[in-house]
Amino acid sequence: MQVFAKALGAALLSVGFLAVVAPTAGGAAAPPGAAWTWGANSYGELGTGGTASRPAPAEVDLDDVVDLHGGREHVVALRADGTVWTWGSNQHGQLGIGGSANRSTPVQVAGLSGIVAVETGHNHSMALGADGSVWSWGFNSDGQLGDGTTTLRRTPVKVSGLTNAVDIAGGRDMAYAIRADGTVVGWGRNDEGQLGDGTTVRRLTPVRVGALTEVVDVAGGRDHGLAVRSDGSVWSWGSNDYAQLGLGDAGAATDRLAPQQVVATGMVEVIAGAHHSYARDADGQVWSWGRNYRANLGDGTTTQRTRPVRVTGVSDAVSIASGRDHGIAVLADGRVRAWGENGAGQLGDGTTTDRTQAVVVPGVSGASKAGGGEPPTRWCSWVARIPIQTPTPTRIRIRMRARRWRTSAPRVRTPTPNGRRSRCQRLCSRGTGWC
C-alpha cells in the first residue's frame, strides 16, 4: 500500500489497492470510495474472498472508503461514516477483531466510531479519533501500541497520554502522531533512532520527535522517519544504512538520532518505503532517495542515491505511496503510474517485470489517492477516488490526507479564536485541501 504503504515480507508485500469513481472498462460507473486491489493474496489481503493471487484490479465489497493502508499482510480501511474495517492476516491481532483467524473479506472493528484516519505498521494498526485520541492494536513487542506495555492487543486500546493528535503514521515497529500544535511525537522501537528523540531507548508511550514544529505530514519506514514542515522543508531521522535519510551519506555509522533537514522548501508530502523515501513537491514532481536495488527510486537506474533525484515519467502528481520496494503516484487526470519491484504484479501493469521508470497502470481512471502500504507491504498497491469538495465538508474529507493532493481550493487565512490558523487552514492556504 500509505497507503502511507510498507522482510518485510510476504503477501501484502504483494497487493495493490484503489478506489475509483469513473467509468470502468465495461462502461459501468464505480461508486464513490470503491476499493480495488491486485497482487498476491496468501492471507486474504486482497479482501475479495479466498487466497488466490490476482494480477489485475478487482473491487472489494466495501463502499465509501476514505482511507486505506496496508501492513505486512493485512489492510485497514476507513469508511465515510467513521467506522474501521480490516482484512488479511490476524496472527498478531492486527485486525483488531479479537482472536487470530485471518479474514479474506472486510470485517468491522468493534468499539471504534468517529474515526478520521487509519494507519498501519508491520503487524500493528492505528486509528485517529475526531477528538484527537489515537487507538492501536496488534503486535506490541517494542511498545509500538503506545499503551505503556509490550502486551499484544487483539482489540483497540488508547495510546497513553495523547489527546490532541491531528495525524498519524506507522513504521515497522514504531508509530508517530502530529499534535494540534504542529509538533510530532513517536513511540515504539528506537534502536536506530527511529523516534528522533536523541536516544536509542525504546519508548512505550509517546515522546517528542526532536524540536520539529509546524509539521504538516509525517511518515514511517522500516526504521526511519520523515516529516514535512509548513515551509515545505523535509526532515529525516533514524536508520541510514542505505541513504534513506537523503543527507548525502550512508551506512550504520550515519544513523541520525534527531531530525535533520533534507530539502529546504517546496515539498507537500512524504512517504517512506523500507529503505527508501519519496517526496512530492507543490508542482506535482516526485523525488526519491535511498536504496535502489529493485528500481525503487524510479530514476531509470538501480543506483543507490544519497540525495533526492526525480522519479522519471511522473508529473502533475497529486498523491504518492510506497510499498517496500515500489512506488505509486496518482496524477491530476486520475491516471496511476507505478515503478520498482514487480515480482508479484504489484505494479498492476499485467507483468512481473521490475520497472526502473514509472509505467501506466492500465484500466484505472478517476483515481485521487494512492497507497502501497507501510514498509512491510512489499507487494501491494492501491489508489482511491475520494471526493475532495463535498456538499457538507467534514473533518474526514479534510484531514484525511488533505495534503495528499493539490486542488483549486481558495486560500484560507481566517484566524482561529486564539489568533493562530488551524492546521486545516494552513493546508488550505497552500491550496492542498478544502476547509
- Determine the Cα–Cα distance for residues 166 and 409; give it in Å rounded to an integer: 20
Q: What is the pLDDT of residues 226-257, one digit of tens each?
A: 999 999 999 999 999 999 999 999 999 999 99
What pLDDT band is residue 267 in, cutting at 50, 70 and 90? Answer: very high
SS3 content of the chain, % helix, strand, coil (to 5): 5, 40, 55
pLDDT at residue 58, rounded to an integer: 80
Q: Check the CA dihedral 89-92-95-99 and report its sign.
A: positive
Q: Is the pLDDT of residue 400 over 50?
A: no
pLDDT at residue 386, rounded to an integer: 52
Q: What is the mean pLDDT of the chain?
A: 81
pTM of the model: 0.84
Query: Hey, what amino acid is at 395?
Result: R
Residue 32 lies in a domain: yes
Q: Is the pLDDT of residue 4 over 60?
A: no
Residue 3 lies in a domain: no
Q: Check the CA dihedral 179-145-110-21 and report its sign.
A: positive
Residue 48 half-sphere exposure toward CB, CA atoms < 13 A: 20
Q: What is the pLDDT of residues 84-102, one digit of tens each?
A: 999 999 999 999 999 999 9
Residue 100 lies in a domain: yes
pLDDT at residue 32, rounded to an integer: 54
Residue 219 lies in a domain: yes
- Determine the Cα–Cα distance for residues 411 and 66; give it in Å rounded to an integer: 24
CB burial string 317-327: b at 16+ within 10 A, e below: bbbbbbbbbbb
Q: Residue 421 sits in which domain range? A: 11-429
Residues 6+ apart with CB under 8 A from 145: 124, 136, 137, 138, 153, 157, 159, 175, 188
pLDDT at residue 345, rounded to an integer: 82
Residue 303 lies in a domain: yes
What pLDDT band is residue 384 in, cutting at 50, 70 and 90? Answer: low
Residue 2 lies in a domain: no
Q: What is the pLDDT of residues 311-343, one digit of tens each?
A: 999 999 999 989 889 999 999 998 999 999 988
**Which of 26-40, 124-138, 300-314, 362-376 is predicted least confidently?**
26-40
Query: Hey, what amino acid is at 61?
Result: D
Residue 279 lies in a domain: yes
- Which among 398, 378, 401, 390 has a CA at the least distance from the CA of 16? 378
State the CATH number of the domain containing residue 162.
Answer: 2.130.10.30
Q: What is the pLDDT of residues 336-373, one digit of tens each?
A: 999 999 888 888 888 899 999 999 988 777 887 776 64
pLDDT at residue 92, rounded to an integer: 98
Q: Are 237 and 257 in contact (CB under 8 A)?
A: yes
More confident residue, 326 or 396: 326
Structural domains in the chain (count): 1
Q: What is the pLDDT of residues 9-37, one digit of tens each?
A: 222 333 455 433 333 333 333 445 778 78
Q: What is the pLDDT of residues 158-182, one digit of tens each?
A: 999 999 999 999 999 999 999 999 9
What pLDDT band is residue 425 in, cutting at 50, 70 and 90? Answer: very low
Residue 434 lies in a domain: no
